[in-house]
Amino acid sequence: MRNEQKTIFVLDDDLDILEFLQALLQQEGYRVVITSKAESLEKLISGDTLPDLILMDVFLSGSDGCEIVKQLKSQEKSRSIPVVMFSAHPGVEGTARHAGADAFVSKPFEMDELLAKIEHYL
């Protein structure tokens, strides 16, 4: 349990993916906070305890993940938090990186690749 002090915030509008990622990351020893609502991320960032990494979908119902990343990277408080974005649409990797994402992973996930990227940024 080498990572238990690290907190990962996961944002996706697919509850199955949220539950899968929560189980996977907790098994790796991370503290995991999941949500399907972009507003939860905004509340978290305005609070006192920031996550060590944000893992989020590019396409969210009612929200644009790229706009959220631009907002995070434009604020002093959240600028340094690594953001790993994912999508089933591999063509959006450039868009995600242009918005400020530190890394991109295609869905369906290659678990080793996802964990390696997370570990790299933590």
Q: Please say whether the beta carbons of 8 and 51 come within 8 A.
A: yes
pLDDT at 112: 93
CATH class of 7-121: alpha beta
Q: CA 15, 34, 38, 64 torsion: positive or negative? A: negative
CA 93 remoteness from chain centre: 14
Q: Where are the domains of the chain?
A: 7-121
> Could you tell me the pLDDT band of residue 45, with boundaries at 50, 70 and 90?
confident
| Beta-strand runs (E) in the chain | 7-11, 31-35, 53-57, 59-60, 63-64, 83-87, 103-106
Cis preceding linkage at 51, omega within 30: no
| Residue 1 clears pLDDT 70, i.e. is over it | no
Q: Which of 39-43, 74-78, 110-114 comes out lowest in average pLDDT? A: 39-43
Q: CA 28, 111, 17, 58 torsion: positive or negative? A: positive
79: CB partners within 8 A, 6+ apart = 72, 73
Q: Which pLDDT tens digit goes with each residue over 62-102?
A: 888 999 999 999 989 899 999 999 999 878 999 999 999 99
| Beta-strand runs (E) in 26-102 | 31-35, 53-57, 59-60, 63-64, 83-87
| Residue 32 clears pLDDT 60, i.e. is over it | yes
3: CB partners within 8 A, 6+ apart = 28, 29, 30, 122
pLDDT at 2: 52
Percent of the chain past pLDDT 90, that is, above it, reads 70
pTM, whole model, 2 decimals? 0.91
The whole-number average pLDDT for the span 22-41 is 91
| Residue 119 clears pLDDT 70, i.e. is over it | yes
